[in-house]
Structure 1
Amino acid sequence: MATSAADVDRSRPMTGEEKKVILASSLGTVFEWYDFYLYGSLAAIIGAQFFTAFPEATRNVFALLAFAAGFIVRPLGALVFGSLGDLVGRKYTFLMTILIMGISTFIVGLLPGYESWGVAAPIILIALRMLQGLALGGEYGGAATYVAEHAPAHRRGYYTSWIQTTATLGLLLSLVIILIVQSYVNGNYPTVPQFQNGEPLLGPDGAQVMLEPFRAWGWRIPFLVSVILLAVSLYIRLQMEESPAFKKMKEEGATSKAPLREAFGQWKNAKIALIALFGLTAGQAVVWYSGQFYALFFINNVVKVDSFTSNVLIAWALILGTAGFVFFGSLSDRIGRKPIILGGCLLAALTFFPVFHELTKTANPALANAQDNTTVVVTADPATCSFQFNPTGASKFTSSCDIAKALLAKSSVNYTTEKAPAGTVATVRVGEQTITAYEGTLTGDEAKAAKAAFETQVNDALKASGYPLVATENTTIAKASNFFDIFTAQKLKMVVLLTYLIILVTMVYGPMAAALVELFPTRIRYSGMSLPYHIGNGWFGGLLPATAFAISAQEGNIYAGLWYAVVIAAATVVIGLIFVPSDGHKRSLFADDPGHDLHKTGYGNAPASR
């Protein structure tokens, strides 16, 4: 049986230059994701350092606003650096992005807190966070385009899949380094007295509040360590050449003079961006964020597994599942990007509900049992019940209905809602006991007393009905004592379930870079692919936790928020099946027309033309 040139091209080992291209792009992108997620993992601690002038609730709002700023500006970074990448080249543009990200992150580690610099400290922090978002907005498109334009035509999916591992590896690296530093610092250094406005901060008992060393100063170490990653990544990238596709286009004088206008101001190109957004990246984003971030949020905040155990379980799932990026990227070179990406979206839409149900039953059997056997009903005037969408924590919900629903959602209670006459104060019925809520418009001591009385009565009723509200009394919940403490039936099953979610992530994300670069012509490729990618992931994906929580609170079911991901993933399957071309893996990246079949051109190392 004859061996085709395509099979030979697929099976040959990477050249030294190709390995350097992948290493330079991937290592730098791991570093950028590490920096980006580091802030998210430490947001509460950072908020306590930079917003100490405000009460704890307000402090957390500002910390989350600073985190959200990075997501909001990502599409802007895609426009700015995408345009530069198409004007001056791929290599030098993502050298700029890595420098901006690295320097910003390092400065966060050095930046004095509110106690030292006052209001200037949080302002600088938010500005640095926005610079991180801008840099990340430009990094991904540059790295994906650079690797794809270096790759042999029949191995683009495989080569670019290494870029796709970087977001997960960056998240994993940030979790591991935080765990290591936290364990070492807290185990070897004394606690630190806390001050506020220059005065010792006293607790309810009148004693000075003492802070564990990691929360006081150790959190800065992971930020400072990033300078080592920056130096290594920068050194490697400086050794690289410009991509061959861009060099050829520049030699021919075919570069775009106005890439943004050409990419999004002309319908023939703008419609490609819309297809990329709704037929690929929107579904990919909700599957990606559900499988990694929402899964972590769900087992930690909803199922009530402690944060250390949650991080350990997710870290093991990431370790076991990450190879899927390369597997599915390579597979896409043979069968195409479309069936794998849309197949992952379809599987997610079909299995998210049973998998998350099983996570609850496995991780916290007492909670699952209480949900199944306890009837909880909120009776309220529908006009007073808000949709509690609160992505930054800045919104206030003060009606008795909102207060009741927020408390039940916080306690992971499944409940139903019944209508009451207009003006009725909401009530919560747990089994046979009914508790009347209060209006959040109360102020001062009256508000504190009403809040305390309502929460105590509801929590007592829930506890009596079997809800495990006190973690130390719940012997059924999963708990890991160290990173390798996963070898029990309960924890292993959780790792398997979480690894399945990671595999879905690798299906939708592994071939994505190749799929996007193949949609756009060379002259606007960097700009064209970056914007739909970052709108999909920064907005559709980044808003997923807040949206899912709001839906769950509205519907009175901890799983209802999954509908957000399920509906978008299913819509992407339908749109993608209709509009996304199936032959992208057969296209040349050198031809200015993305519809050029690489087998009909002499470009892109197309084996058929040799």
Structure 2
Amino acid sequence: MKGNTRDQPAELRRRPLARVVLASSIGTFIEYYDYAVFGAVAPIIASLFFPSSDPTAGLLATFAVFGLAFVLRPVGAFIFGPMGDRLGRKKTLIIVIICMGLGTFIIGFLPTYSQAGIFAPILLVAARLVQGLSAGGELSGASIYVAESAPQNRRGLMTSWLQVANTVAFLPGLAIVAILESVLSDSAMDSWGWRIPFLVAGPLAFIGQYMRRRLEESPVFENIVAAGSRTRAPLKSTFTNTATYKDLTFIVFYGAATFVGFYFILTYLPTFVSTTLNYNSNFGILVVGAFCVGSVVAIPVAGLLSDIVGRKPVSLASCIGFFVLAYPAILLLKPGNVVLAVVAGLLLAIPTSGFQAVLLVTSLERFSSPIRYTGYGVGYALLSAIFGGTTPYVTESLTSASGNYLMPAYILMTAALISLVPTIFMRETAHRRLVDI
């Protein structure tokens, strides 16, 4: 005789996984939509908020502001991580998405340097700080919620859809900018057109928080509450455990290639194509588009594969592929040929997709349920701050200083080697239940 579902352990109840993934993904969609838009209009923002006789200096200042949001991620993780472990995954994700949307939305209303002087860049920094703080609890919390709601043998696949959402988010972001640049004059784009993509984030955040309110709490968190094992001081519990520091170090170096590759391609590459290779920015958007299309197909395949053969084999293959393919991919961009550009985007998509598919699930599987949001959130935020936000700035600096257009390839290859070391020594966690970790 079948028992009442109310009497079953929470992790055994059927969950509407499609709704779980969609509601969880919309917050990360907004986050990465913002990155795409900010990167695509970076030259305009540089001229409007950081006027300078040296265009490179203004661009570097803009990318520094972009990176500032990543620096604040660990602070956001210290705020939202304990909140997620005490109050629950659902409540925290609702708060996060509201902050996330506001941080992007208000950029569309900011005055420029000619209108407000020094207050213009200050307000821009403030908006990025709000976005950075909320990002500290968004993707980590969303991936935890999905993983804790997914069947054990499909955790890799289900969490990989969040990375698909991240990648897909760049397409509308870049497309909106490309359309505006095509239909508007340069003066109109500089005057008000650049604001439109940021304003789109407002309605998206409203829809997202509504969707998240309709979700149930994570089944694993429900079990924590039912068992009375919820911790009162997640930060203390996390950082008095010596194993935490090992796990944090692992996440930072394990994810290096993912973040360097992802943010080079999807945030910096359009600027690299227009300023270093001297092609139209739409050429760079074409490369990004090819990358996104390839990633959308490859990420869930790699996620499913990690459920079957394990996280480690997929990670090793991605490291090797990234090191081997980075150089020829950048080399193919130089001729300015459309076909070669598409091939370059697809070459970069193959190893990056493998990394993306397993990064989230591999990282969160290292932490026990009562401190998972805090420990994993801090680790992922540190990874973002060190290798995410710095990538556009460092790449632009080294490429400009060296005058070598292949410098990005060397940076990507170095990141692959950094990730290879922890990958070799990582333990396999694919077949463990999250409630047992």
Q: Which of residues 551, 567, 589 in structure 1 aligns to 2:434? A: 589
Structure with higher strand content? 1
Secondary structure at the residue paired with 1:325? helix
**Partner residue of 1:333?**
307
**Which residue of structure 1 aligns with residue 9 of structure 2?**
none
Tell me the distance in 2 between the aligned counterparts of 1:163 and 1:351.
25
Normalising by the residue count of structure 2, what TM-score does the alignment of the two structures yield?
Answer: 0.89
Identify which range, 554-563 or 109-118, moves more after superposition. 554-563
- Aligned partner letter, 1:288: F
Amino acid at match of 1:308: N
Q: Does 1:572 align with 2:419?
A: yes
How many residue pairs get aligned? The number is: 424
Aligned with 2:204 (options 220, 229, 254): 229
Return the letter of the residue paired with 2:220: A
From 548, 558, 566, the counterpart of 2:405: 558
Residues 137 and 37 of structure 1: is their aligned pair in 2 closer, same or farther, counting only changes over 3 Å?
A: farther
Give the equivalent residue in structure 2 for 1:67.
66
Q: Which residue of 2 aligns with 1:606?
A: none
- Counterpart contact for 1:22–1:159, Cα < 8 Å: yes
Judge conservation of contact 1:284–1:341 (CA < 8 Å) in 2: no
Q: Which ranges in structure 2 are unaligned for 5 or more consecutive residues? A: 1-12
Distance (Å, rounded) in 2 between the aligned partners of 1:534 and 1:224: 26
Name the structure 2 match of 1:286. Answer: 260
Question: Is the 8 Å Cα contact of residues 341 and 508 (structure 1) preserved in structure 2?
Answer: yes
Q: Residue 571 of structure 1: CA displacement?
A: 3.2
1:585 positional shift: 1.0
2:263 and 2:388 in contact (8 A); partners too: yes
Stretch deviating more after TM superposition (536-545 or 96-105): 536-545
**Counterpart code for 2:157:** Y
The residue number in structure 1 matching 2:216 is 241
- Kept after mapping to 1: 8 A contact 2:299/2:356: yes
Per the alignment, residue 339 of structure 2 pairs with: 492
Q: 1:305 aligns with which of 272, 275, 279?
A: 279
Q: Deviations over 1:480-537 (max 9, x none)?
A: xxxxxxxxxx412320221120121111111222111211100111111122223223
Distance 1:291 1:337, change over 3 A: farther
Shift of 1:20: 0.7
1:290 offset after TM fit, Å? Answer: 4.3
C-alpha contact (below 8 Å) 1:94/1:142 kept by paired residues: yes
Identity among equivalent positions (%) equals 32
Are 2:381 and 1:534 aligned? yes
Per-residue CA deviation, residues 525-569 of structure 1 (Å, 9 max, x unaligned), is 111112222322332233234434555566664324533332332
How large is the Cα RMSD of the aligned pairs? Answer: 2.4
Where 2:65 maps in the other structure, the secondary structure is helix
Letter in 2 for 1:269: T
**Correspondence for 1:319:** 293
* Cα separation, partners in 2 of 1:286 and 1:67, compared to 1, 3 Å: closer
Matches within 5 A, 1:39-50: 39-50=38-49
Listed as ranges, the gaps of 5+ residues in structure 1 are 1-13, 187-210, 365-477, 479-489, 595-610
Are 2:228 and 1:253 equivalent residues in the alignment?
A: yes
In structure 2, distance between residues paired with 1:554 and 1:220? 32
Higher helix share: 2
SS in 1 for 2:216: coil
Q: Quick check: 2:143–2:162 contact (8 Å CA) kept in 1?
A: yes
Deviations 1:271-299 (A, max 9, x none): 12222222x21232233334444544543
Q: Report how far residue 123 of structure 1 moved.
A: 1.9
Alignment of 1:190-201 (within 5 A): none
Within 2, Cα distance between the matches of 1:314 and 1:164? 15
Would the aligned equivalents of 1:114 and 1:121 in 2 still touch at CA under 8 Å? yes
| Compared CA separation, residues 585 and 318, structure 1 to 2 (3 A) | same
Aligned-residue offset at 1:156: 0.5
Question: What corresponds to 1:215 in structure 2?
Answer: 190
- SS of equivalent to 2:430: helix
Tell me the alpha carbon deviations over residues 456-484 of structure 1, each in whole angstroms, 9 at most, x when there is no partner: xxxxxxxxxxxxxxxxxxxxxx3xxxxxx
